[in-house]
Amino acid sequence: MSEKLSEVRQLMLQAGVDAYFLPHNDPHNNEYLAEPDKRMPFISGFKGSNGQMLITQSQALLWTDGRYWIAAGKELYEGWTLMKLKKGEPRYYEWIVQNLPKGSVVGFDPKIITAEALENRRKYFQDLGYEFRALEQNLVNSVWTDRPGYSEEPVTVLDVQYSGASIKDKVNQIRPKMKELNQHYLFTGVMDEIAWLLNLRGNDIEYNPLFFSYLLVHIPNDHEFNLHLFVNYHKVEPIHSYLRENHVTIHDYSDVEHFITEVTSPVVIDKSETNYFIFSKLKEPFHAKSIISHLKAIKNSTECEGFRNCHIRDGIAVCRYFAWLKDQLHKGNQVTEWTGSEELRKLRAEEPLNKGLSFSTISSVGSNAAIIHYEPTEESAAQITAQSIYLLDSGGHYLDGTTDTTRTVHFGEPSDWEKECYTRVLLGNLDLVRVVWPKWSNLSGNEIELLARRHLWEKGLDFQHATGHGVGHYLCVHEGPQVLSIGCKEPFEVGMNVTNEPGYYEEGAFGIRIEDVMLVVEKNPGFIGFENVTMVPYEKNLMKLEMISDKDKEFINNYHSVVWDKLSRVLEERRDYFTLEWLRKATSPI
Cis peptide bond upstream of 110, omega within 30: no
8 A C-beta contact, residue 218 and residue 226: yes
Query: Which phi-psi region, left, alpha or beta, contains residue 531 (left: φ > 0; alpha: ψ -120 to 50)?
Result: beta
Is 338 in a helix, a strand, or coil?
helix
Ranges of beta strands (E only) in 184-254 are 185-188, 200-201, 213-218, 226-231, 248-252
Distance (Å) of CA 575 to CA 285, 326, 518, 588: 60, 20, 30, 20
What is the model's pLDDT at position 351?
98
Judged on CB neighbours under 10 Å (0-12, 13-18, 19+), 204 is buried
Average pLDDT of the chain to the nearest whole number: 96
Is 76 in a helix, a strand, or coil?
coil
545, β-bridge pairs:
none
CA distance 571 to 569: 6
CA distance 363 to 381: 9
Q: From first to last of its 590 residues, what are the pLDDT tens digits of the chain?
A: 578 999 999 999 999 999 999 999 999 999 999 999 999 999 999 998 889 999 999 999 999 988 788 888 889 999 999 999 888 899 999 999 999 999 999 999 999 999 999 999 999 999 999 999 999 999 999 999 999 999 999 999 999 999 999 999 999 999 999 999 999 999 999 999 999 999 999 999 999 999 999 999 999 999 999 999 999 999 999 999 999 999 999 999 999 999 999 999 999 999 999 999 999 999 999 999 999 999 999 999 999 999 999 999 999 999 999 999 999 999 999 999 999 999 999 999 999 999 999 999 999 999 999 999 898 999 989 999 999 999 999 999 999 999 999 999 999 999 999 999 999 999 999 999 999 999 999 999 999 999 999 999 999 999 989 999 999 999 999 999 999 998 888 999 999 999 999 999 999 999 999 999 999 999 989 999 999 999 999 999 999 999 999 999 999 999 999 999 999 999 999 999 999 999 999 999 99
Distance (Å) of CA 417 to CA 149, 408, 504: 49, 15, 12
529, β-bridge pairs:
521
CA distance 87 to 556: 37
Sheet order of strands, 516-522 included: 437-438, 527-532, 516-522, 497-500
Quick one: DSSP state of residue 239? G
Q: What is the 3-state secondary structure (H, E, C) of 460-498?
A: CCCCCCCCEEECCCCCCCCEEEEEECCCCCCECCCCCEE
Q: Are strands 405-409 and 390-394 parallel, antiparallel or unpaired?
A: antiparallel
Which has the closest alpha carbon to 186: 257, 266, 126? 266
Q: What is the 3-state secondary structure (H, E, C) of 367-428?
A: HHHHCCCCCCCCCCCCECCCCCCEEEEECEEECCEECCEEEEECCCCCCHHHHHHHHHHHHH
CA distance 586 to 590: 10
Taking the model in full, what pTM does it have? 0.93
Quick one: DSSP state of residue 575? T
8 A C-beta contact, residue 535 and residue 312: yes
What is the model's pLDDT at position 1?
56
Q: Residue 80: which H helix or E strand, with range?
A: strand 80-84
